[in-house]
A and B are shown apart, each in its own frame.
Chain A
């Protein structure tokens, strides 16, 4: 199948510190890839390189075969086609849910207010959140805010969705409602790259899991194989620690 995202030998330094070391990774259409690894392994940085929130130093990333720095994307084409959701939701606190969702369609992509709001309400309804359209972020629970953030990222019909530890800031009882949406998106065929600490979720939703350490992909495999019989000793050690912490 055709690659939607292909990361080719990407290297990134923060100052003189190497955070990504010649990382290559391809994500096929409709594929869900989970990035796992300890803090500082480079997984969030890699995710943010994909939509160029973080500029990398070497290598190339392609979306549907076209390099992401290609001028044909224009200033905003990449952001329309790749949505991202952050750990801390990063909703705009002075705007209600509807305005948060329609900001980019209206101001960046020139969609008329009416059309943008219809689309936003449709998305909210699809995720069972119609009643929150006029709420402000501070009136919502963490799980609700994160679901709004996901809807906001979907408002421009992206072809790829990046999820950066979207459940890490949530109370345990709220994680489920966010993961349910991610499952729903997977069933709808959304291509996703997910950074997560929820190993159980990675095992369930991922088509492929990549274990990163020291800015490199140490091992990648289908979750059934990677979690059951990791080949690399470093992967084994990482998963061992996770099991000891009772997280798997």
Chain B
């Protein structure tokens, strides 16, 4: 039977619930030192066992000394390292310059494509054709075409260095991808934002600059960082046109000594540069997802 709301017992219970303090929060679970250390120890042991077995199997193979000499010779690495590092500095420089140029050029392309109105049709069509062409071609082909082809023309007034034109090829290629990322971000901004901007009297350009773009870039930041990581590695393509980057320098050493440890040294440098960037991308994506979840709640 349900208690009658007017009955003295029910009223008493309600009063009690109001005056009494609520039950205490759950006690923090205490974990003994042993409870904390055992899992850490277990994972350390299992990791050591797992990789130890692999290392043992690999190094005990009859071919191992030869493999080690060819790829992991410390002496060869040390000998090749100064040249490889010098080359890697070129990779970094090309990467940074290309990064800035791509960010700007891709933005121009994305904006050209999102312009409305009949007068902008040529710009729109240019942007569409551009992206189709440069996204459809292998980066390697572009690097060869620009790095060898254009200097061979001996055009007056234009630089003739392979490094310059190779960088241009990377910029043109990656800008096509980056502009599509920007465009996806622009289109993902809710239509109500455009309407609000219009109702406040903002022009199409002002709405883009103050309201749409800041949101679009924030939304696609993880995707842009991913492209940044990919670009850092692809700068090595310039080695095919004779640019003495890290890969090229490592190859030169290999050609002289028939030892591939210099390439491993270059590989380590690339890893040192890209892994932290990949972690940063993960971190920003995760933070972004959390922000969205909070925003939705």
Contacts and interface: CB of A to CB of B under 8 A. Distances in A.
Interface of A: 51, 53, 75-76, 79-80, 83-84, 86, 88, 90-94, 103-104, 107-109, 138, 152-153, 156
Interface of B: 192-193, 195-196, 198-203, 206, 210-211, 214-215, 218, 291, 294-295
Contact of A84 (B199, B202, B206, B295): B199
5 contacts: A79-B198, A107-B206, A108-B201, A138-B294, A156-B200
A45 to B, nearest CB: 13
Contacts of A138: 291, 294-295
Contact of A92 (B203, B211, B295): B211
A90 B201 contact: no
A144 to B, nearest CB: 15
Contacts of A83: 199
Contacts of A152: 200
A93 B215 contact: yes
Contacts of B196: 86, 90-92
A75 B210 contact: no
Nearest to A105: B200
Q: Taking each of A53, A92, A152, which has the highest tally of chain B beta carbons within 10 Å of its own beta carbon?
A: A92
A94 B202 contact: no
Contact of B200 (A75, A79, A88, A94): A79
Contacts of A108: 200-202, 206
Given A53-B199, A86-B192, A93-B215, 7 more contacts: A79-B198, A83-B199, A84-B199, A88-B192, A90-B196, A94-B214, A103-B200
B165 to A, nearest CB: 39
B200 A104 contact: yes
A94 B215 contact: yes
B215 A80 contact: no
Given A90-B196, A92-B196, A107-B210, A80 B295 contact: no
Most buried by A among B199, B211, B215, B295: B199
Interface of B is mostly: helix
A136 to B, nearest CB: 10
Nearest to A88: B192
Contacts of A51: 199
A217 B68 CA distance: 88
A103 B203 CA distance: 12
Contact of A86 (B195, B201, B214, B215): B195
A94 B190 CA distance: 13
A138 B294 CA distance: 8
B199 A75 contact: no
A63 to B, nearest CB: 14
Contact of A79 (B201, B211, B218): B201
Contacts of A75: 201, 203
B195 A53 contact: yes
Given A103-B210, A138-B294, A92 B202 contact: no
B200 to A, nearest CB: 4
Nearest to A138: B295
Contacts of A92: 193, 196, 210-211, 215
B295 A93 contact: yes
A80 B201 CA distance: 7
Contacts of B291: 138
Contacts of B203: 75
Contacts of B198: 53, 79
A164 B218 CA distance: 29
A79 B199 contact: yes
Contacts of B294: 138
B206 to A, nearest CB: 6
A138 B295 CA distance: 6
B215 A76 contact: no
Contacts of A93: 215, 295
A94 B218 contact: yes
B195 A104 contact: no
Given A86-B192, A88-B192, A109 B201 contact: yes
Contacts of A153: 199
Contacts of A90: 192-193, 195-196
